[in-house]
Structure 1
Amino acid sequence: MTQADRPVLHLESVSRVHGHGAAEVHALRGVDLKVHPGELVAVMGPSGSGKSTLLTLAGGLDTPTGGRVLVEGVVLGDLSRKKQAQVRRRAVGYVFQDYNLIPALTAAENIALPRELDGVSARAARREALAALEELGIAELADRFPDDMSGGQQQRVAIARALIGDRRLVLADEPTGALDSTTGETVLSVLRARCDAGAAAMMVTHEARHAAWADRVVFLRDGRMVDETANQTAAGLLVTAATNSVKGGGAE
């Protein structure tokens, strides 16, 4: 397999169990999934189906109970914590639901921090941060602190942080959740452009219209991958039908 053919993200029979005995919860059950360069995959499913768990495992923020997670051919579970952190900083951009911005840093400083931790000069990192802010149409927020921003502004700053540098894998948990429809479309177009330039991305969303930006839609239920489609036109029908027929389950 050439590097061009190798998936950026590969989940091999990945499972995650929380708790023990009567309190045991199967958040994911034997999920197999590959995301290739240039591909945007949308993950959908009812609340509690395992969507956020899938992202945290893919980004190395949690460890699977069973199976393996590979990023660019490297098994995350085989790495030390230090090496895992390096992979996350250099190769993986993560958009959290709660943004995770550092209150004492400005927008530009929050975005530049991962690059500085990897040895990029402060000046060069700031240039990259300003370019990322400009790409998302929020250059005016560069020197503003998180507490001085709206939720939607904080979300766009968090997205800019996930996209800075040569991130080969972008993981986004409801990236448009706090945004109006117009701004949400702008964010999705930026994410789509990154994939078209060669990155891979996986996005959790509840919105069929947002899933239409993806190359594939996978559907989770009770921790299992139960459906997959590459037909964007059918994505909305798939989601509507599945959502109407399935309720609840497992851990988010």
Structure 2
Amino acid sequence: MSVLAMTSVSRDHGAGAGLVHALAEVSLEVRAGEFVAVMGPSGSGKSTLLTLAGGLDTPTSGQVVVEGADLGAMRAAARSALRRRSVGYVFQDLNLIPSLTAAENVMLPRELDGVRARRAREEAGRALQEVGVADLAARYPDEMSGGQQQRVAIARALVGDRRLVLADEPTGALDSHTGEDVMRMLRARCDAGAACLMVTHESRHAAWADRVVFLRDGRIVDATPGRPGPETLLQEAR
């Protein structure tokens, strides 16, 4: 089943002589259980692709559908609710709130979505346990190492039933050992049924993906073939 479907998506910035085509006629589908990596030179449109996929921006033309919902046809409030409920983001700069503990940072998106504090804290605890930092629940970001902060950021992205996980250079500021741990966690989440779309410049991290898409000048110029998704394997078994 397709979790993310982007059809002929373009994003322009500016006008006239200053017009920039950040993304041009991009079509991309990510299925449940599939891990897709996006590679390309700086300025190729990788981050624009992620912001459009998660509804943080709207395309100039084309369609972005997440879990059957056309983001362009939704009001801003409904789009925000869908992001909180179904989309998890892992950013290179983490975006943890300094005044909140690890548990409170992970709880926040669930509380914003109306989940009661007790349930949100329980879910946050499970998410922190999943990424191996349950013992840091009461610590503030400045009391953690960079790798620990990244794990908390991943827990925040995974808390609740996030069907689409978007990661923008999630290992960029980490040492190689911690970076491999982060990739292992993202891979495990995909294997559990989530759809993952990750921007990376590291070939060794892209190797964790089922499929690699290459962007240049806002267009998809190449893609490796993906392995069969869970639904395809089930059909073949029948």
Q: TM-score by structure 1 length?
A: 0.86
Counterpart selection for 1:227 from 222, 225, 234: 222
How does 1:49-198 map onto structure 2 within 5 Å?
49-198=44-193
Name the CA distance, whole Å, in 2 between partners of 1:202 and 1:19.
Answer: 27
Which shows bigger deviation, 172-181 or 84-93? 172-181
The correspondence for 1:42, drawn from 14, 21, 37, is: 37
Q: Which amino acid aligns with 2:219?
A: R
Q: Work out the number of aligned pairs and report it.
A: 227
Once the two structures are overlaid, the 10-residue window that deviates more, 149-158 or 181-190, is 149-158
| Residue ranges of structure 2 left out of the alignment (5+ in a row) | 228-238
Q: CA-atom RMSD, angstroms?
A: 1.4
Contact 2:92 2:171 in 1 (8 A): no
- Tell me, in whole angstroms, the C-alpha distance in 2 between the residues paired with 1:61 and 1:13: 18
Q: Which amino acid aligns with 2:203?
A: A
Does the 8 Å CA contact 2:92/2:173 hold for their aligned counterparts? no
C-alpha displacement at 1:179, in angstroms? 1.7
Q: Does 1:199 align with 2:207?
A: no
> Is residue 12 of structure 1 aligned with residue 4 of structure 2?
no
Distance 1:98 1:134, change over 3 A: same
- State the AA in 1 paired with 2:164: L
How many angstroms does 1:231 deviate by? 6.3
Counterpart contact for 2:38–2:198, Cα < 8 Å: yes
- Kindly provide the amino acid, as one letter, of the partner of residue 174 in structure 1: E
- Indicate if the aligned counterparts of 1:155 and 1:178 stay in contact, CA closer than 8 A: no
Residue 134 of structure 1: how far off its partner (Å)? 1.9
Q: Per-residue deviation at 1:176?
A: 1.2
Counterpart secondary structure, 2:151:
helix
The answer to whether residue 207 in structure 2 is matched with residue 209 in structure 1 is: no
Could you tell me how far 1:119 is from its partner in structure 2? 2.4
Q: Is the 8 A contact 2:212 2:223 kept in 1?
A: yes
Identity %: 73
Deviation of the 1:149 alpha carbon: 2.8
**SS of equivalent to 1:127:** helix
Task: Report the Cα distance in structure 1 between the residues aligned to 2:50 and 2:168, rounded to whole angstroms.
Answer: 7
**What does the per-residue CA deviation read over 1:198-227, in whole Å, with 9 as the maximum and x for residues that have no partner?**
110000011111111100000000000000
